[in-house]
Structure 1
Amino acid sequence: MSTIELAEAALKRILQDEDRLHAYAWLDEATVLAEARRLDHEHLRGPLSGHTVAIKDIFDTVDMPTACGSPIYAGRRPARDAAAVAAIRAAGGLVVGKSVTTEFAHLTPGPTRNPHNPTHTPGGSSSGSAATVAAGGASMATGTQTAGSIIRPAAFCGVVGYKPSFAMISRSGLSLFSETLDTIGGFARTVSDVALFVGVMAGRSDLMTPVSPQAPRLAVWATPDADNAEPCVVVELERVADVAASAGAAVQTLPDAAGWQALLEAQKVIMAWEGTRALAFERQVHPELLSGPLRAYLDAAALTSPETYLEALHTRQTLGAALSAAMQPFDAILTLSAQGEAPLAETGTGDPQFNRVWTLLGGPALHLPTATGPRGLPIGVQLVGNPGNDHRLLGTAAWLEAALS
């Protein structure tokens, strides 16, 4: 089909669900059709031709507002595209709208609901991105992760979510919360599609087609926080490990690595310290336009001492290096993505405790949807690798996806 036909079909699909899902912060038919005409007129064909893409509303877009989920920036029109968005357009991807983010990609939820049950959360902060991909509104969507904002929404909505190694994708044109942690990634419905998408944004052709190992080496580790998880996800982790072993993978249990709780706390300290500085202007000039929870978080974070912050950075370096060394012999760590099925929307966007440490380490992480839980909502597993091992992790994820299917 032509890109115009693709645009019309995508808009029809999105609008069928939008009153129920509220996945988009900005959606304009004329803008999408104009972009489709441009792609057709310029005969632009690339790796993302035929794909529709939703852009999380913290990425600058020259033809669409970027409000960052905040009334402070309602209607703000950037003068340029973020680097990741420019790469998507250059590769032939059709941008269909701005997906809902929590306020400044942090605490306060937006209006988006889970496509599988609208009384439940889609997760956060990349709420709209995960929801629209799950509902078929877009085939791909951008996301960011500071704690668990890609992996957790992917788990709750039942799609593939990928957080690549830190700084693999340029953050130019992105509203930052944490210089040390914020990482751009994406959502799709298959491992091959998410690899293609992230590879395009990163300018890494070597990642666009995952190469599966013949017999991957997997370490199963539910982490010391497993007692806080619902039984269904722990059982599913064990089932997936058994399937992998039966399909030929070398599977073993990773002994509990020392320092997990210290790394967990270090991530929280770094995120708080850097977040209150990133939003210094908004907190000082427009405090009345910040939500109560975010304002309280920033006020508390401002009390963190420089010594506490520097100690957290030191913990990240030392204990993180020890955990990375324990992971080195394996193609991937097989672990939990979230505490369980998506909780009710009224309780928030869920706890990112099973994602924080992996984000702190800066390596790649991928959620693979594998089953449904007792309430009929999606569950799955997380695969984690060491920084720079993206090609290895994506290949292992593609192998496991095929083994499970």
Structure 2
Amino acid sequence: MEPCFLTASEAATRIRDGKLTSEALIRSCIERIEARDPQVKAWLHLDKGKAIATARELDKRPAMGALHGLPFGVKDMIDTADMPTTYNSPVFQGYRPARDAACVGVARLSGAVILGKTDTVEFASAGRRAATRNPKNLAHTPGGSSSGSGAAVGDRQVQLAFGTQTGGSHIRPASFNGIYGLKPTWGSVSREGAKQYSNMLDTIGWYGRSVDDLALVASAFRLHDVGGIAAPELSTLKVAICRSPFWSKIEPAGEKAFDIACERLKQAGVTLVELTLPAPFDGMVEAQNTIMMGEGRASFLDAALEFGDRLHQDFHDRANNKLGITPEKMIAAYDLAADCRRAFEALYVDFDVVLTPAAPGEAPEGSYNTGNHIFNAMWTLLHVPCLGIPCTTGPKGLPVGVQIVAPRFDDARLLAMAAVLAPVIDLETPHYSADA
């Protein structure tokens, strides 16, 4: 097997055991990118020479940390000191930040090799869409706004990549690309150096190809108790089946994936309980949109004033409050979110984890429609950790996943439960061969 097809955790073990060098791994990923990315278009910037040189240097050293020698993609609205950060915006082409974003710094100082910058929806919010296409079917979107990161990991071009989520920009692309994704608890990973859209919502996460990959990165970020909680027995788990208040938006492929996941868990001896959320949760998607657009006014005002007609109209609409969001609406949305956070976590006395859709269905056709975040927005606003798990394929042969959700700052237990739940749910994800 070519090293690019290994999971991050498999590659890390081989590097640690002296059976693989970081340089060999990076060269394999670069070969995969050269073969595939002219069609997939996941990357906006690559520095192949520097990545190889960095890997060669790492091969001379003792392990720096959990990510030693592993390649990492960075969504191009997260700053990198040695590569451009364009935000996929025409007004920032060639922009070079003075220093790395905090998350990039943690990855580098844990031994990761930053391979390059992945394409994104402009400013990870609106405006221009990424040029990236779904590697499973080039006529379809990989999702957004973490388009390039999701596609690059899904296409076996890189083992790990950063994404972000304000609505559904991280977990939804995980579903569309048939990969694993962790959106940690809001605030548990520093957002310093990442373009802000909404202070209340923005969350940095990462993609991998297994739960172990996600846990490896979580350990580098020192998420509370990661690695300190043993995986539970399946027979001891109670999983709450939550169709959410927005079930009317589910598509046949999404409903099928959800039913398959439930049936597989039931057959494995997991106890399933139905969860119907209280009435106030019906307003959470509207509240998320109010906060996102309301806080977006402040986030894009400076760019609107500086760049004028050169900036996409979407950002002028936000800066000029086209939706007419009032202070009263903002306060009501903040208050509803606070009330629902407490109410949601109180429900966990009756179960261990929530299972819920990760996306309405398969990835839409075309690149402009990056997908509906209807099954993500509420969880983002609740600030809870979410973990995307591949499940099945839809009628067009495209992946459809599910997600599991835990209370705030319970990321470690979520990962421990995912370690035993994911092998039951994820039976049909396509496995790549070396000649794929």
TM-score bucket of the superposed structures, by smaller chain: over 0.9
Long gaps (5+) in structure 1? none
Q: How many residue pairs were aligned?
A: 404
**In 2, distance between residues paired with 1:233 and 1:211?**
31
- 1:148-193 deviation line (CA, Å, top 9, x unaligned): 0110000111100110111111112111111111111100010111
1:161 aligns with 2:181: yes
The residue that corresponds to 1:396 in the other structure is 417
- The one-letter amino acid paired with 1:79 is A
The residue that corresponds to 1:130 in the other structure is 150
Shift of 1:293: 3.6
**In 2, distance between residues paired with 1:15 and 1:115?**
14
**In 2, distance between residues paired with 1:166 and 1:279?**
21
Shift of 1:38: 3.3
Q: In 1, are the aligned partners of 2:266 and 2:272 still within 8 Å (CA)?
A: yes
1:197 aligns with 2:242: no
Shift of 1:301: 4.8
SS in 2 for 1:366: strand
Q: In 2, are the aligned partners of 1:192 and 1:210 still within 8 Å (CA)?
A: no
**In 2, distance between residues paired with 1:173 and 1:165?**
18
SS in 2 for 1:162: strand
- 1:103-141 deviation line (CA, Å, top 9, x unaligned): 010123110000000110000011000000000111010
Q: In 2, are the aligned partners of 1:31 and 1:63 still within 8 Å (CA)?
A: no
SS in 1 for 2:187: coil
1:40 aligns with 2:21: no
Map 1:55-204 → 2, pairs under 5 A? 55-108=74-127, 109-200=129-220, 202-204=221-223
SS in 2 for 1:286: helix
SS in 2 for 1:280: helix
The residue that corresponds to 1:363 in the other structure is 384
- The one-letter amino acid paired with 1:212 is A
Q: Mark the CA change 1:328 to 1:357 in structure 2 (over 3 Å): closer, same or farther.
A: farther
**In 2, distance between residues paired with 1:142 and 1:210?**
24
Moved more, 36-45 or 394-403: 36-45
Shift of 1:39: 2.0
Q: In 1, are the aligned partners of 2:185 and 2:384 still within 8 Å (CA)?
A: yes
Match of 2:405 among 373, 377, 384: 384
Match of 1:285 among 306, 327, 336: 306
The residue that corresponds to 1:29 in the other structure is 48
SS in 1 for 2:279: coil
The residue that corresponds to 2:273 in the other structure is 252
Moved more, 324-333 or 241-250: 324-333
SS in 1 for 2:264: helix
Q: Mark the CA change 1:122 to 1:346 in structure 2 (over 3 Å): closer, same or farther.
A: closer
- 1:208-252 deviation line (CA, Å, top 9, x unaligned): 577321122100011121121112221221221122122121211
Q: In 1, are the aligned partners of 2:249 and 2:374 still within 8 Å (CA)?
A: no
- 1:356-380 deviation line (CA, Å, top 9, x unaligned): 0000000100110011001100012
- The one-letter amino acid paired with 2:104 is V
Q: In 2, are the aligned partners of 1:276 and 1:302 still within 8 Å (CA)?
A: no
CA RMSD of aligned residues (A): 1.8
**In 2, distance between residues paired with 1:208 and 1:121?**
35
SS in 2 for 1:34: helix
- The one-letter amino acid paired with 1:68 is Y
Q: In 2, are the aligned partners of 1:195 and 1:209 still within 8 Å (CA)?
A: no
The residue that corresponds to 2:230 in the other structure is 211
What's the TM-score once normalised by structure 2's chain length?
Answer: 0.88
Q: Mark the CA change 1:63 to 1:209 in structure 2 (over 3 Å): closer, same or farther.
A: farther
The residue that corresponds to 2:34 in the other structure is 15
Shift of 1:16: 1.0
- Identity of aligned pairs, percent? 37
What's the TM-score once normalised by structure 1's chain length?
Answer: 0.95
Shift of 1:346: 4.4
Moved more, 36-45 or 185-194: 36-45
